Amino acid sequence: MAVDPNWARWAFASVATLMKQLAQQANIPALVEGLDERTTAYMEAPARVEIRMSGPFTRELSIDYHEVSVDINLLFTSRYEINANQYDIIQIVGQFHAALDGPLSVTRLGAQPGDDGSFVGCLLPRTGRNDAVRIFHFGQTDQTDRQKQVMIDARYVGYFDS
């Protein structure tokens, strides 16, 4: 049988929900690419996070048993002149890093038939040589606005039955 056509939506919704919860706990605005608008309030926030997800990438390993991969990319932006402590954004990045370093649950989120919030599967951080949850510090990216950026790149794999 083919992949479940809902996996993409459920994976996206599960990741978006978790990332929004983490942003709320860190008290920074979050934008999920493809869902949220870039409002003036978001763009002018002293610190913010932009959330992107690629995938799922799937392949059938055996009949009705699929490998499901997802990539998550978070871009944090912080303004120098507004944040008194320049380590604040790095502390927030660390909170996201800690959450992303473990398994992520995919649940049936949404308003479609069958979206009952039940467990679909688990996405685990991939363990290949270049698959670690990685943090990249870009430093000051804009001279005029005096802002710096940090990115988290994380890759996951799970195994789902169709």
Q: What does the pLDDT look like over 113-132, one tens digit per residue?
A: 989 999 999 999 998 888 88
Tokens of 50: 């932009």
pTM: predicted TM-score of the whole model, two decimal places: 0.91
- Distances from the Cα of 58 to the Cα of 18, 36, 106, 134, angstroms: 22, 26, 15, 23
Alpha-carbon distance of 74 to 1, in angstroms, equals: 33
Set out the domains of the chain in order of their start, with CATH numbers: 7-161 (3.30.2000.20)
Tell me the CA distances in angstroms from 62 to 15, 58, 123, 131, 159, one per residue in order: 26, 12, 19, 24, 11
Please tell me the distance from the alpha carbon of residue 113 to that of residue 128, in angstroms, as a whole number. 37
Lowest mean pLDDT among 40-49, 77-86, 101-110: 77-86
Q: Before 56, cis peptide (omega within 30)?
A: yes
Is a pLDDT exceeding 70 seen at residue 81?
no
Percent of the chain residues topping a pLDDT of 70: 96
The SS3 assignment for 19 reads helix
What mean pLDDT value characterizes the chain? 92
User: At 17, is the pLDDT very low, low, confident or very high (cuts 50, 70, 90)?
Assistant: very high
